[in-house]
Amino acid sequence: MANIPHLSQLSQILRHDILTSTTAAKSGHPTSSLSAVELMATLFFGGFLRQDINDFKRIENDRVIFSKGHASPLLYALYHVAGVLKYDELLTLRKFGSRLQGHSTPDLPFVDVATGSLGQGLSIGVGMALGIKTKFQISNFKFQIPKVFVLLGDSELAEGQNWEAAQIASYNKLDNIIAIVDVNRLGQRGETMLEWDLKTYEKRFQAFGWNTIVVKDGHNIKQISNAFHTVETCHGMSLQKPTVIISKTVKGKGVPFLEDKPGWHGKPVPKEQLEEALRELGSVDLSLKGKISSPKFKLPVSSITQPSLPLRPYPRTSLYSTREVFGDALVDVGCENNQMVALDAEVGNSTYTEKFGKKFPERFFQCYIEEQHMASSALGFAKVGYIPYISSFAAFLTRAFDQIRMAQYSLSTTMNIVGSHCGVSIGEDGASQMGLEDIAMMRAVRESTVLYPSDAVSVYKLTKAMATHPGMNYLRTTREKTPVIYDENEEFPIGGCKVHGMDSRLRGNDKQKCKAIIIGAGITVHVALKAQQILAKKGVFVTVVDLYSVKPIDAETLQKLVKNTPHVIVAEDHYEFGGVGEAVLSAFSKFQISNFKFTHLCVRKLPRSGTPHELLHFEHLDEESMVKAVME
């Protein structure tokens, strides 16, 4: 049984740390942290959490995610009491250069993921729990599978993504994820939607297939301890259900002038009131420490990689859509690395991830129509050692931009995103299905990679390259079947491009006839090559650039080309802003290239249903429009 007097004393130390650190910072969220003190003190120091504090990366460790990321002062205080942080460092909270940021980040070794955009932590936890469970099941390990604990605020349960995660957790029978809901009644501007209506919270989670445990007094350590004992019992019985602890708490608990008072969210106790607040805590023995239990076992290490497979045959006499060949490459990546997983948003028969699902069902995870959950869950997989590939229509990935944006602050490995059905060239489905903003979205992510291959060989090789390329990688695929341009020995380094010139036809001064560079990517490369042939018959020669790597961009090659050519034409099946055109101009600006004419062919009109050719013509992206741009 938990040592209740000891946990009560540790709880008061946590309150002391929360108050003093936020007052020193002159900002922060002490009241949101104070409400969850007993909940987390009992979890951490009551023998329920198992973590090796000398090696937080161990797969055998339980994980803790503070989805209510603004309660970071509590998280820091917990690890101070555990002996991981010194008190002097606590007082650097929110200061420039400190590891203790306003919302916790993986700058600290015990923090797996950055949180603070509310509603995402449960999805990340589901990804972690699925990843951990998969590792242990594949290894046929007999010990209990490590657990993932997610601290949720009651306010953030208004976010729909939580319920996306809840139903996926239930569907996958994730008995190793435990949500802890801190029901403190008050949000940022006042009362929450349900206030202290624990019964309704319980009914909602039960409706999503969760095992529920209600704690009527979230500051009563005995009740909390009993709840965690019930979690252990359920975990041992393999009920194959996720569990949620729904706990009634008081915001600002421990300091009477803060308790259940609106208007204190995000406000520290002023320095002149700090002494009064600390006095309310009573006697606090700051020398006491808590102990986090260690895992009792070690998972056997298994082989990860296998020999690389050769390129599949893609003869030039055939037509292939890049989305279809992406599916082939995904299977081969899975054969080469057993830590690769694929997540689908119920479009696997369109993105062709279903090929991977049929080959590796144990590493294929159906997220259904939940792009936001899928993106956050992929981060969870990445944090427990997997290489996730997620895919959907590019247009639908835009709804997950906040999740992608947040993932960049946590990612130390690889996370791959694939958007299909890009541009007006998808044809009859109409504007709602056309990815026309995705390049801009993914270029905006700070250290992202953006790839847009044009044929079977390039998409196959770039899909495989993403598996070993760290960071956030985005691959754009097209729906239409197109010719194979490249031989199988052609290489596609990330950050490169391919130049299709007419030099073999030109001699001496004739090279001055090279009137323009047409820069395309994906579908527009094929259109540009057609335009190149039409122009050549007119005695007008152009160079076509396949800019398969939009970010990083091959600025040096472009610089060399533009020096000898007066006219640069960018043709992209994307809206005007943020896409290939602006990437090219940015590269030219970097090298201070000027004195050239720039023509930007892109999607400027409101798209509609039609054939691919009709729509490319409508948007002036067909070969006729490219020829006209050169001749003018």
| Position 48, amino acid | F
Q: What is the mean pLDDT of residues 437-448?
A: 97
pLDDT digits (tens, 9 = 90+) for 205-237: 999 999 999 999 999 999 999 999 999 887 656
pLDDT of residue 238: 63
Cross-strand partners of 212? 244
Helices (H), 218-344: 221-237, 271-281, 322-336
Token pair of 539 as six digits: 């005695």
pLDDT digits (tens, 9 = 90+) for 31-59: 999 999 999 999 999 999 999 999 999 99
* Residue 307 pLDDT level (bands cut at 50, 70, 90): confident
Give me the half-sphere count of Cα atoms (radius 13 Å) on the Cβ side of residue 369.
2
Q: What is the mean pLDDT of residues 170-175?
A: 96
* Nearest one of 502, 515, 531 to 601, comparing CA atoms: 531
| Position 142, amino acid | K
pLDDT of residue 29: 98
Residue 301 phi, psi dihedral angles, 5° rounding: -80, 130
* Nearest one of 369, 420, 360, 423 to 387, comparing CA atoms: 360
Q: Other C-beta atoms within 10 Å of 493: how many?
A: 12
Percent of the chain with pLDDT over 70: 96
pLDDT of residue 296: 86
The better pLDDT of the pair 82, 300 is held by 82
Matching residue, tokens 């076509």: 544
Catalytic residue among 60, 371, 582, 619: 371
Catalytic residue at 619?
no
Query: 156-160: long-range contacts at Cβ-Cβ below 8 A with a sequence spacing of 24 or more?
Result: 156/67, 156/68, 156/118, 156/119, 157/181, 157/201, 158/192, 158/193, 159/118, 159/119, 160/119, 160/372
Whether the per-residue pLDDT at 508 is higher than 50: the answer is no
The better pLDDT of the pair 529, 507 is held by 529
Helices 371-383, 160-171: inter-axial angle, 10-degree rounding: 60
pLDDT of residue 565: 85
* Nearest one of 612, 529, 609, 540 to 573, comparing CA atoms: 612
Token pair of 141 as six digits: 């390990």
Whether the per-residue pLDDT at 595 is higher than 80: the answer is no
pLDDT of residue 503: 52
Burial degree of 91 (CB within 10 A; 0-12, 13-18, 19+): middle
Q: Which helix (H) or strand (E) holds 12?
A: helix 4-25
Domains within the chain, CATH numbers bracketed: 4-281 (3.40.50.970), 319-483 (3.40.50.970), 498-631 (3.40.50.920)
The better pLDDT of the pair 407, 590 is held by 407
Whether the per-residue pLDDT at 278 is higher than 60: the answer is yes
Burial degree of 43 (CB within 10 A; 0-12, 13-18, 19+): buried
Whether the per-residue pLDDT at 301 is higher than 90: the answer is no
Q: Is 483 helix (H, G, I), strand (E, B) or coil?
A: strand
Whether the per-residue pLDDT at 115 is higher than 60: the answer is yes
| Position 141, amino acid | F
* Nearest one of 508, 406, 422 to 118, comparing CA atoms: 406
Give the range among 32-41, 113-122, 296-305, 597-606 with minimum mean pLDDT: 296-305
Q: Quote the mean pLDDT of the chain.
A: 94
Whether the per-residue pLDDT at 60 is higher than 50: the answer is yes
The better pLDDT of the pair 476, 310 is held by 476
Whether the per-residue pLDDT at 594 is higher than 80: the answer is no
Q: Give pTM, 2 decimals.
A: 0.95
The four Cα atoms 200, 202, 205, 211 give a dihedral, to 10 degrees, of -170
Cα Rg of the chain (Å, integer): 28
* Cα(476)–Cα(459) distance, integer angstroms: 9
pLDDT of residue 564: 80
* Cα(77)–Cα(388) distance, integer angstroms: 33
* Residue 251 pLDDT level (bands cut at 50, 70, 90): very high
pLDDT of residue 444: 97
* Cα(628)–Cα(632) distance, integer angstroms: 6
What residues contact 519, with CB distance under 8 A and at least 6 apart? 544, 545, 547, 558, 568, 569, 570, 571, 580, 584
Decide if 124 contacts 111 (C-beta within 8 A). no
Decide the pairing of beta strands 549-551 and 449-451. Answer: antiparallel
Whether the per-residue pLDDT at 510 is higher than 60: the answer is no
Whether the per-residue pLDDT at 485 is higher than 60: the answer is yes
* Residue 1 pLDDT level (bands cut at 50, 70, 90): low
